Amino acid sequence: MDTVIATTPLFDIDAYRKNADARVLALDAQTMLLSAGVFYPVGGGQPGDTGALDIQGQSYQVLGTYRGQEHPDQIWLQLDREPEKTCLGKVASMSLDWDRRYRHMQMHTCLHLLCGLIDAPVMGCSIGANISRIDFDLPTSGITSAGVTEALNQLIQQNHSVRAFAVSQESVSVGAARSSVVRPPSFGDSVRVIEIPGVDRQACVGTHVRNTGEIAPVVCSQIRQVSTTNRRLEITWAGQCAEVA
């Protein structure tokens, strides 16, 4: 059996890494496969990263990042134009759009804090640079936007550590699978877990800040019922007019 070419996910090793070099492994129209990547691929409610590439003086914009459908260990970059065929085998220098990614990291971790506050299955989420949402299977609720805002900011200010680690699929606890509609994300034989000790622990493939104190103050801007049992909570940054990223 032929060995499948895979991309080393440098964002799993260090979510704060902004630049790296990697070899071009494959080209397909306006997409490119590299041997390693700082660009996070869309998944788990988090958008794919954007940024730039330089290949021997040729510059390309990375418009999006996604996993291969047949081989999820492959991470493909959507470029602004079709790359030269001569790029194959060459070294590409990656530059991540860090400001956008960091806001995603802050927001994603904030949604985990929200999961720690609300004991209900997660039906779905969407993370943006300025506004994010999470849906809970919550038939009845006495929660308010003001109450959620106060509780979230208290957790943020308590400077909780955030850690990521891998466990075997067999050892994933029921509590680590917060979603009631999606199986815990896994690649190979392991599942990646994000833990905020004493607050939340769940399977997650996204990128996160190291400490909740890095998250800017937030506001629960809306709580609305979208179905009989589904309640949607929207979170945005405090003190600014948010726009959907």
**Residue 139 within a domain:** yes
The pLDDT of residue 49 is 98
Q: Which domain holds residue 20?
A: 8-96
Among 123, 150, 149, 132, which Cα is nearest to 225's? 123
- Write down which residue in 66, 96, 126 finishes a domain: 96
Q: 81 with 107, same domain? A: no
Q: 134 with 227, same domain? A: yes
The CATH number of whichever domain residue 187 belongs to comes to 3.30.980.10
- Write down which residue in 96, 112, 137 finishes a domain: 96
Q: 205 with 144, same domain? A: yes
Task: Name the percent of the chain in helix, strand, coil, to the closest 5.
Answer: 20, 40, 40
The CATH number of whichever domain residue 85 belongs to comes to 2.40.30.130
Q: What is the tens place of the pLDDT at every residue in 221-235?
A: 999 998 888 999 999
57: left (phi over 0), alpha (psi -120 to 50) or beta: left
- Write down which residue in 65, 96, 127 finishes a domain: 96
Specify the DSSP class assigned to residue 139: S
Q: 134 with 198, same domain? A: yes
**Residue 1 within a domain:** no
Mean pLDDT, residues 76-84 taken together: 97
Q: What is the tally of structural domains in the chain? A: 2
Mean pLDDT, residues 189-193 taken together: 85
Confidence of residue 173 (pLDDT cuts 50, 70, 90): low
Q: 105 with 200, same domain? A: yes
Mean pLDDT, residues 166-191 taken together: 61
Range from 17-21, 39-43, 150-154, 178-182 carrying the lowest mean pLDDT: 178-182
Among 211, 207, 210, 214, which Cα is nearest to 38's? 207
Task: Give the span between the Cα atoms of 142 and 24, in whole angstroms.
Answer: 53
The model's pTM is 0.91
Q: 105 with 92, same domain? A: no
Q: How far is CA 118 from CA 50, 127, 141, 142, 163, in A?
A: 32, 18, 10, 11, 20
94: Cα within 13 Å, side-chain hemisphere:
30
Q: 114 with 25, same domain? A: no
Q: 18 with 136, same domain? A: no
Compute and round to an integer the Cα radius of gyration of the chain.
Answer: 19
Q: 68 with 114, same domain? A: no
Q: What is the tens place of the pLDDT at every residue in 83-135?
A: 999 999 999 999 999 999 999 999 999 999 999 999 999 999 999 999 999 99
Q: 90 with 208, same domain? A: no
Q: 179 with 131, same domain? A: yes
Percentage of the residues of the chain whose pLDDT score is greater than 70? 88
